[in-house]
Amino acid sequence: MARALIIDDEPDIRELLSITLERMDLEIATAETVAAGLNALRSGTFALCLTDMKLPDGNGLDIVEWIQKHKPHTPVAVITAHGNVESAVRALKLGAFDFISKPLDLAALRKLIGATLKLGEGAESTIQLPQVKLLGQSSKMTQLRELIERVARSQAPVHIYGESGTGKELVAHLIHDASARRDGPFIPVNCGAIPTELMESELFGHKKGSFTGAVADKLGLIQSAEGGTLFLDEIADLPLHMQVKLLRVIQEKSVRPVGESREVPTDIRLLSATHKNLAALVAEGKFREDLYYRVNVIEVRVPSLRERLEDIPELVDAMVTKLGKQVGNRELSITDSAIKTLGNYHFPGNVRELENILERAATLCSGGVIDAGDLQLRPKIATAEASMPASSVSPGENLGDALEDIERDAIVRALEQTRYNKTKAAALLGMTFRSLRYRIKKLGIE
C-alpha cells in the first residue's frame, strides 16, 4: 500500500486529511512540526506529502526545499490560507507539485491526490522524453529537455518564451505528455486569433439565452481542458479585461460561464507562451503585473535556431525524410553544399522558416537532390554589431527587394536586441515609434 505523509499542527485537519486519503487506499503517517516531518521523510518512503504552510517550528516551504534537495521524486503539495497567493506561488517556484487553500474542498483535494499518485506511477516515463519530437543534441537543447522533465513533475503554471517559429507549442505538448495529466486533454488556444468580442464566450463558455445568438449552452475552452492542460499561446495579446478574469480562474481554480450565476470548479494546468517580452509589457501597463507573476511561476526559454546551428544537419535530415514521403514517397536527398549554406544563414524565422525553405526546395529541385541553389535564401547581412548594417546589391538583383531584405533584417535584429520593446528598438534604429510600427506592418515582420 502506498504511503502518504501529512504534516499539520491542527488535529481536525490531520483527521480530515487522513480519512480522505485512507479512503483512497493510502497508508497514512502524520507529523505536527517541521522537525517531525523531516524525521519521517528521512526514515521512510512516501508516494506523496501534504504539508501546511504555517507550522509551530517553521514553514512548509522548509519541507518543500528539503524534499527537492533530498527526495526530488516525492511529490509535495502545500496547504495555504485562503487568498494567500504569494505563499502559493513561492511554494510552486520551490518545486511544490500543487497547492490547496483552506477551507479544504474535498473534491479538489481528491483530484490533487489522484494526480499526485499518477505522477508517482509515471515517474520512470517522465525521465525518457520522446526525443524524436524535439530534435537537436546541442547543449541548449539538452538543457531544454532536462528543464521539461523537471517542470512536467509539477502543476505550476509555466510560461514558454521564444522567438516566432522556435517550437513553443511543441514544448508545451511535451510538458503535457510527460506530466500526470498526459491522459487528459491538451487544449491549445491562440489568444491573438480570437476576436475580442467573442473571447469571454470562447474561453469561459456561456449559458443559453445569455446574449443574442446564444441559442444553446456552450462549454468554454477552459472547461474543455478539465483534467488536462490549457495552453494559451500569445498570451500577451489578451485584452486587459480578460487578464483580470483569467487571474481569478488561476487563483480560485474556478470559472464562471457567461450568464451563469455561480462559479464552476475547474482542474486544469496552465501553460502560456509568447514571443513578446512580458516584463516590458508590464512596465508599459499593457499586461497586468499580478497576472504576470501567476503565469510566469516557471519560465522555459526556447532557443532560436541561430543559437544552435550545430543542430541543423540533424533537423535537415529529419525534414528531408519527411518531405520525401509527402511528395509522392520518393527518395529525396540534400547535398553537403546545401547543408553548409543553411549553416551560414541567419534564420529570422527559426525552425519554421527552415521547414518552409526545404519544402520549397523539394518542389524546385531536379532529380530528388536539393542543392544550394534550390534553397533561394535571402541575402545574409554580415555585420552583427551595427544597428543599421550595410549590404551590397548584386547585378541584376531587384533593388526594391534587396532594400526590403536589408531593412527587415535590421529591424528584426533591433527588436531582438531590445527583447521586442518597440520604443527602444525605434530609438536604436534612429526612427520614431510610429515609423517603426508602420515598417513592421509593411514588411510583415509580426
> What's the DSSP call for residue 382?
-
Residue 175 to residue 126: CA distance in whole angstroms: 9
Give pLDDT tens digits for 173-195.
999 998 888 889 999 999 988 88
Give pLDDT tens digits for 376-386.
887 654 433 33
SS3 164: coil
| CB-based contact 52:79 (threshold 8 Å) | yes
Sign for the pseudo-dihedral over CA of 394, 396, 400, 404: negative
**pLDDT exceeds cutoff 80 at 329:** no
Residue 370 to residue 356: CA distance in whole angstroms: 14
Residue 191 to residue 188: CA distance in whole angstroms: 9
Give pLDDT tens digits for 71-118.
888 889 999 876 677 788 888 888 888 888 888 888 888 888 887 777
What number is the average pLDDT over the span 116-134?
A: 54
SS3 52: strand
Strand order in the sheet with 229-233: 186-190, 229-233, 269-274, 158-161, 298-301
Q: Residue 92 has which C-alpha cell?
A: 510552486
**pLDDT exceeds cutoff 70 at 389:** no
| CB-based contact 420:276 (threshold 8 Å) | yes
What crossing angle do the helices spanning 399-417 and 433-443 adopt, rounded to 10°?
120
- Residue 381's pLDDT is 47
Strand order in the sheet with 3-7: 27-31, 3-7, 48-52, 76-80, 98-101
Percent of the chain at pLDDT > 70 equals 88
Other beta carbons within 10 Å of 18: 17
Stated pTM of the model: 0.73
Contacts of 278 (CB under 8 A, 6+ apart): 159, 161, 235, 236, 287, 292, 296
- Residue 38's pLDDT is 94
- Residue 246's pLDDT is 92
- Residue 120's pLDDT is 59
Give pLDDT tens digits for 198-231.
888 889 988 777 776 766 878 889 999 998 999 9
**pLDDT exceeds cutoff 90 at 434:** no
Select from 92, 34, 38 the least CA-distant residue to 58.
Answer: 34
Burial of residue 75 (number of CB atoms within 10 Å: 0-12, 13-18, 19+) = buried
**pLDDT exceeds cutoff 50 at 415:** yes
What number is the average pLDDT over the span 349-364?
A: 89
Query: How big is the CA angle at 137 (ends 74 and 417), to the nearest 5 degrees?
Result: 95
Percent of the chain at pLDDT > 90 equals 35
- Residue 18's pLDDT is 92
Burial of residue 211 (number of CB atoms within 10 Å: 0-12, 13-18, 19+) = exposed
- Residue 401's pLDDT is 55
Phi, psi of 275 (to 5 degrees): -95, 0
**pLDDT exceeds cutoff 50 at 144:** yes
Contacts of 333 (CB under 8 A, 6+ apart): 320, 368, 369, 370
Q: What string of DSSP letters covers 101-153?
A: ESSP-HHHHHHHHHHHHHHHHTHHHHHS--GGGS---SHHHHHHHHHHHHHTT
- Residue 446's pLDDT is 63
Long-range CB contact pairs, 360-366, < 8 A, 24+: 361/334, 362/320, 362/323, 362/324, 362/327, 362/332, 363/327
Other beta carbons within 10 Å of 398: 10
Mean pLDDT of the chain: 83
**pLDDT exceeds cutoff 50 at 394:** no
